[in-house]
Structure 1
Amino acid sequence: MKHLFYTICGLAFCFVISGCASTDEADSVQVAEVTRSVFYAPFYAALAEGYFEEENIEVELTTTWGGDKTMTSLLSGGADVALVGSETSIYVAAQEAADPAINFAALTQTDGTFLVAREDLSNFDWNDLNDSTFLGQRKGGMPQMVGEYVLKQKNIDLKNDLTLLQNVDFGNIPSAFASGTGDFVQLFEPQASTFEKEGIGKVIASFGAESGLVPYTSFMAKESMLEKDPDLFVRFSKALYKGQQLIQNQSAEKTAEMIESYFEDTDLDILISSVERYKEQDSYASDPLLTEEAWQTLLDIMEEAGELPDRVPFDDLVDVDIAKKAMNEGG
């Protein structure tokens, strides 16, 4: 009987250990990204270097191609985290959503688009856009609003000085320009550099350099998710922070090699030039903390574009505690 007792206890102990081991399984986090771009290099670097795995997180990444589709995926439960323009959280809040999308980690801090001309304008002046056809981005999205913001600063009347096209789907804009639509187009990297290499167009200006700091692309989750498991999002932000610091402290060549697997159809030299452009204009946020000053700039840009439904307070849609804790623990 004594031996049987010890045997049962041993089996029970093994069962407990086995049960404990099962709780160590990685947390699966489904991330929906609005597009695939070198603009998001710190995130891809964190993935490539295994930083999320170190935080016991398994990331399932899906590209949803457009802010509306990305936010729909988040709100419907198709994704746990959305990587998308911060303006989308304001649109959702304006609809009095019961479970709003909350920005918890910043990824980029400038606009990520470049002005590409069909011809090489070595002595470019913004007035060269007058009487031209400008292939812009989706109405109400951050690229288009920043584009309009910059053009207005350059005293360009969007209704009278040029023809603005906004009827092309986000994912089809590059192919539309390549097919002959527009004299100028607003593009992210690596598409802009690819067009240069192929002789389709020439990068002549940066909207990010012209518009200044703004919380352009952020990671967000539904408020209920953040409240349910805040530690998960702190760990997520810690992994991201490691990637952000890595990008800041290494060469564009090293970063390009690191993220190459996320751009299988893009040559390494294009990735290098793309990373260099973004680093030169300080597009990559060095940490996940969103600032209230940049948030107010975002509201100003949206208001200037006539797309701001309400000046939603910073504290209503931004959770800085998660980023701060991640930085403290990961520093």
Structure 2
Amino acid sequence: MSQSFSSRWLRRIIVSAVAGCVLSGPALAQEKAKLRVSVIPIVDVAPLYAAQKQGYFAEEGLEVDTAPVSGGAAGIPGLVGGAYDFAFSNIVSLAQAVAQDLDVKIVAPGSDVRTEAPDIAGIFALADAGIKTGADLNGKTLAVNNRNNNIWLYAREWIEQTGGDVNKVTMREIPFPQMADAVRRKQVDAAMTVEPFFSTNVKDGTLVAVDFPYIKVQPGLNVAQYVATDDFIAKNPETVARFKRALKKGAEWVNANADQPAFAELIASYTKMQPELVQNLVLAPAPVSVSAESVQKTLDLMKKHGLLEAPMKASDLLYGDLND
């Protein structure tokens, strides 16, 4: 091989390699790194805020901005409309979106419920109201944060399983922070809420815990997840993977520090609770995976209660491997 030929051959290899780097660089750079995530300001989203505060998102080259909403159902329209890149939502809201031909999928775990009482969500009422079962709610009003979401669905199933008639119970939408006042003023007879509101509401004795519908109906339920649109996932697969890795580290941090002052300070920072009150909250371990079996049970309940016209498979809602 002549020296001139060797030189030309070598230059071609170098030029090709440089060109490859130039092409791959912008391709990676096109993936979105500044993200907007809709959240509900409750204990369940602690892993996301932990990932922010501990720098796990930054380690993955991501910048995350949060946008508080009233419930998982409220985040889906903004997600589909492009206002959010990820949304903290629930199976009920997600499945209904998919049933309406919206391309949305679960990309990461959000929160689980406990397997035994007390739980992270429960029904409370006035101590002297005499409400102990679903049968006691017949002819009365129950507050939920959003209609047709997980709270609404599992409250209905609990009412049925404890002797009540869901057709005789009125469900009224009230934001979590306002539920206790609504019960005290007798605008509603009972309410189903989540932490941090549940423990603080029943602390003074005027309001009491009635029951824990999630545990009664489906212990260990995968109650919430982070979701994204198919379009966003297709255009940003590495971003999704980075988001998931950082969120998992956030969950691991929460599980390791749930009894530490740093965790109480974290919860207080976005719920506006006093740190000393956080120590009395009921917590469930932060999940690092999503169970297809748990998702399927929720979908079956949705079909039973008229939220789905046709059966739906859990596999239709899951993106990638959510067990690692």
TM-score w.r.t. the length of structure 1 is: 0.78
Q: CA RMSD in A?
A: 3.1
Matches within 5 A, 1:1-331: 27-33=33-39, 35-97=40-102, 100-110=103-113, 112-119=120-127, 125-126=132-133, 129-130=136-137, 133-137=140-144, 138-160=146-168, 163-168=169-174, 172-197=178-203, 200-211=206-217, 212-254=219-261, 255-264=263-272, 266-274=273-281, 277-279=282-284, 282=285, 284-285=286-287, 287=288, 289-321=289-321, 323=322, 327=324
1:174 touches 1:187 (CA, 8 Å); kept in 2?
A: no
Sequence identity percentage: 22
User: CA offset at residue 119 of structure 1?
Assistant: 0.8
Distance 2:81 2:61 in 1: 25
> Would you say the 8 A contact 2:93–2:148 is kept in 1?
no
Shift of 1:152: 1.4
Structure 1 unaligned residues grouped into runs of 5+: 1-15
The answer as to whether partners of 2:134 and 2:165 remain within 8 angstroms in 1 is no
CA contact (8 A) 2:267 2:275 kept: no
Structure 2 residue aligned with 1:8: none
**Matches of 1:107 and 1:206, distance apart in 2:** 19
Provide, for residues 100-145 of structure 1, a one-character-per-residue CA deviation record: whole Å limited to 9, x for no partner. Answer: 0110111112384211121179x98426725573423233111010
How many equivalent residue pairs?
A: 293
Kindly tell me: are residues 167 and 81 of structure 1, through their superposed partners in 2, closer, same or farther at Cα, counting changes over 3 Å? closer
- Structure 2 CA distance for partners of 1:257 and 1:67, relative to 1, 3 Å: closer
After TM superposition, the score normalised by the length of structure 2 is 0.79
By how many angstroms is 1:206 displaced? 2.0
Quickly say closer, same or farther: Cα 1:91–1:193, change in 2 above 3 A. Answer: same
- Determine if contact 1:113/1:206 at 8 Å carries over to the other structure: yes
* Deviation for aligned residue 1:66: 3.1
Which secondary structure state, in structure 2, belongs to the residue aligned with residue 155 of structure 1?
A: coil
Q: Is the 8 A contact 2:108 2:225 kept in 1?
A: yes
Quickly say closer, same or farther: Cα 1:157–1:240, change in 2 above 3 A: same
